[in-house]
Structure 1
């Protein structure tokens, strides 16, 4: 997997598939899916052996155990300079303290200090706001992240799970004031969750932020382990009706059916095709993938070893096409004909074009 993209409009080179470590550890909210330190080590080392360099965690994952385990694994392997180590802040780690959560300056700096201690490192390569808190102004977040970049405790800054307008405000403010830019926006994206397409890809491309996609297999729905039953999804996992999950919609089942057919035709697993589709979408720089074992990780890492044929891509695109509604329905070729009369050629200037030189 020696294939790297620049992250946004930066010089930071990251693997096209990032290792998500939300399941490293057995504590906290993510404990039901957690792995022991030995199990986590096997997954981590397999990722490194494959050539991967982009590792993602957060202070909230397994109540801080993900960071502690990663810190020990990185130190033991002696790979701190090799990897792009990413963590995130927002969620509270002290429910009794009103300033121990959110995105304000006080919590942001405290959260970073705690993360560096747990990871046993003196800097992060990439630090992200984890979730929009609906309170903290983008300006305060950008100013604080810029101070941390200048201090050297983080190398790059970014955002995760924020509205497009908030990301655009943050980046525009950084540009206008010469502050450290946001190099990425981390968002959920899959064949069954395409809500970001209305705004984020175009915003990211225009403002120099590479998208980092999480949950590319739709929380497991796109792995093929579920079947449509009389009462809902049948199979072991979070979408199972027996587990009390929300019903899978007809549209989602249509995507699963199309994905199953495409994967069979390519002799690939459904999960591989789902990850490949996300990784090759506009503005996507990297896709975060998790694993429950080295063998599962090997299968996922092979997701970029093939090219989706045009007809297969078209079928997947159409099966999961979102209905964004107004005003986005107006931004289509059909409506463009109302703006510029058909037959008139209006578009970008050719590469050879240059404006006339003005001599004073």
Structure 2
């Protein structure tokens, strides 16, 4: 059954309603060497909202702040209808040690800057963007709760953090009556499924919605990469800054394994009369625990293609092929716990169901 952007989903254990595909605004602005200029970005915004989309993802430093400024400009007429998610913790001023990080000073300054750039009096969803291993979790949680109590932030969430820290934070927030985390943003796609080991099960158990970024694997799952592209890599910064393809090679996206996965995605797409991007997004969209993958279109044509994923219905056999080619090792202790040996010594030949 086809989804639509106005088939809203609850985000985690909150009452917040969000579209099943979020629109990433990291492509709003060309300051990073790719992306969409203002008029093109406006077309992306207008088309997404016209179809009922309400969930936008940005960060304080995306395209050097222009992402937030453009999103704030576009959202001005319908601000209350939209869910604007932004992030803090990335360095805002090189050389200033307190302009980045997860601590209270960085948090408050970043939020105040985001409020100005978004031209709004509140942020709907604030993510801690990148775990820094330096700030006590109590400082982070109390700071986030203070922002909620002040009305500057409505909900709080986390991105790119270890599962054990997220679950610890959620437990502390619950015990102290502080604002709980309602979402975890993590890299997740057919070529990056390691979140299935701990992050996604943790999120489901602790009441966090899963918001995947890079659901197209840096573009590899669109089918536009070839094996000869593996020789195009430069360094991660500098000379690759204006060449997204070379950057993705440098970042390690273009491997034999990932290209093999992309080949199966293309086969399934051909069977369905769909594009590879639509198939890859449909897989992420319907993965257990996932609330809303983030799409990062640069042009209206790319946006329309991505939104077509809402109409894709993968058959059980197609899902099995995609799962098989992209399977990951469970690792310890998950492989042991899932083994026939452990099942035998704990349950024997009894059948025990978990209901509800």
TM over 0.5: yes
Q: Within 5 A, what are the aligned runs for 1:243-258?
A: 246=252, 248-258=254-264
**Equivalent-residue separation in structure 1 for 2:164 and 2:247 (angstroms):** 36
Q: Within 5 A, what are the aligned runs for 1:276-315?
A: 276-315=282-321
Q: Does 1:144 align with 2:143?
A: yes
Q: Does 1:261 align with 2:261?
A: no
**Equivalent-residue separation in structure 2 for 1:94 and 1:337 (angstroms):** 54
Secondary structure, in 3 states, of the residue corresponding to 2:348?
coil
Q: Does 1:271 align with 2:277?
A: yes
The residue number in structure 1 matching 2:322 is: 316
The residue number in structure 1 matching 2:73 is: 72
**Structure 2 vs 1, CA of residues 314 and 198 (structure 1 numbering), >3 Å: closer, same or farther?**
same
The residue number in structure 1 matching 2:38 is: 37
What stretches of structure 2 of length at least 5 have no aligned partner? Answer: 234-241
Deviation at 1:11, TM superposition (A): 0.1
**What are the Cα deviations for residues 300-323 of structure 1, in whole angstroms up to 9, with x where unaligned?**
111021221000001000101112
**Structure 2 vs 1, CA of residues 231 and 276 (structure 1 numbering), >3 Å: closer, same or farther?**
closer
TM-score, normalised to structure 1, is: 0.90
Secondary structure, in 3 states, of the residue corresponding to 1:97?
coil
Deviation at 1:230, TM superposition (A): 9.1
Larger radius of gyration: 1
The residue number in structure 1 matching 2:100 is: 101
What stretches of structure 1 of length at least 5 have no aligned partner? Answer: 352-360
Q: Which has the higher helix share?
A: 2
CA-atom RMSD in angstroms = 2.1
Larger RCO, structure (CA 8 Å, separation 6 or more): 2
The residue number in structure 2 matching 1:83 is: 82
* Number of corresponding residues: 344
TM-score, normalised to structure 2, is: 0.91
Deviation at 1:251, TM superposition (A): 1.8
Deviation at 1:240, TM superposition (A): 5.3
**Equivalent-residue separation in structure 1 for 2:83 and 2:347 (angstroms):** 49
Identify which of 3, 7, 21 aligns with 1:3. Answer: 7
